[in-house]
Amino acid sequence: MTEITYIVNHPVKLSDHFDIPVDHSYWDGNSYKTIKGKNPYPDRKFKMKFKELLTPKTNFIKNHCKAGLYIMFFKDFKKYYVGISTSSASTETILKRLRKHRAKATGSAVKINHTNTKPFGWRTFAKQRFKKFGNQDQLNDCYLAVLSLQSLQNLIGDETKQLEFIENQLSSSNHPVIKKIISSLTDENDCKNWTSFNGTNTGIAHKHEFIYNIVE
């Protein structure tokens, strides 16, 4: 079986690489509503366009955010989210997915489904953030780590399922990759107080290794 190599890139502060404008529309920090019973979104005016949620100001997306996995770390809440993006043209890019996550985290009204996987999801998280930051949340506590694939050619079979397997593994804060990234962001040696809140699928187990590109 071919071994797949994942390159764990050094985490970067999201606001260093993206303009993250404040959503100035009024929100009470709690209310959501639905359209025809579907796709809950914050009960506030649609003032922001989707592409305005995150605007790249460096070449980080171009250079690092291709197929693979990405992890968003929210330091003030000790929460993190693991996501995937495949090389398929039909798959959402990492940038598009990050824009959706920004809207969910800050409770911004754009026409996407503001999911809330139990016991803890984006809507619960947005309410917590609003209590702390009010209407001035620019995700200044958010750090992004990208796990890129050394070679897409080594992915044999279902790319999504293989990435989901790694996503599942990284959902444990005891995983060596997560511990190494968190230790690079904080002075904490114990990561047990951190929790992930992404959905998990079993995926397909495969032989793999991690190469670290993390500055100690």
How far is it, in rounded angstroms, from Cα 166 to Cα 156?
15
Residue 193 has pLDDT above 80, yes or no: yes
Please state the pTM of the whole predicted model: 0.93
| Number of domains, the chain | 1
Say if residue 147's pLDDT is above 90. yes
Q: Give the whole-angstrom CA distance, residue 130 versus residue 128.
A: 5
pLDDT digits (tens, 9 = 90+) for 53-112: 999 999 999 988 888 999 999 999 999 999 999 877 667 899 999 999 999 999 998 878
Q: Is the dihedral of CA 37, 38, 44, 46 positive or negative?
A: negative
If you average pLDDT over every residue of the chain, what do you get? 89
* Peptide bond before residue 42 is cis, with ω within 30 degrees of 0: no
Say if residues 67 and 85 touch (Cβ distance below 8 Å): yes
Q: Which domain holds residue 206?
A: 4-213
Residue 154 has pLDDT above 60, yes or no: no
Distance CA 126, CA 132 (A): 10
Q: Which of 130-139, 147-156, 196-205 has the lowest mean pLDDT?
A: 147-156
